[in-house]
A = this chain, B = another copy of it.
Amino acid sequence: MDVKTKQRYEARARVIKAMAHPSRLFMVDELSRGERCVCELRDMIGADISTISKHLSVLKDAGIVEDEKRGLQVFYHLRVPCILNFFGCVEDVLVANARRMSATIRK
């Protein structure tokens, strides 16, 4: 694999990696319903606000969300809506896994 191809997969992996955490996945899902401030996400997820803030900056660095400060609050919103397509397919995998599990148990 040449250097350029390798870099292309590294770039793609960085975007996917940004979503590869339960809290960040929840944030993306929640932001798909509209913008949310950091404190709203903190209330929903229930972690320290510094933890929430760092997760959001991971999503921001990956180019998945954008932020906008208004008054005291910082609102985040999705930058690329197609991210939601992920959920449907991930759900398909999970359904297939559930089937596999029950088939394994029956054996």
Stretch with Cβ within 8 A of B (4 or more), from A31-39, A67-75, A76-84: A76-84
Q: Is the interface of A mostly helix, strand, loop or mixed?
A: helix
Q: A22 vs B85: C-alpha distance in the bound complex, in angstroms?
A: 20
A49 within 8 A of B: no
| A15 with B93, Cβ < 8 A, contacts A9-B26, A22-B6, A63-B100 known | yes
- Interface membership of A103, Cβ < 8 A: no
Interchain CB contact under 8 A, A21 and B25: no
What residues make up the interface of A, taking CB atoms closer than 8 Å to B?
A: 1, 6, 9-13, 15-17, 19-26, 29, 44-46, 62-64, 79-80, 82-83, 85-94, 96-97, 100
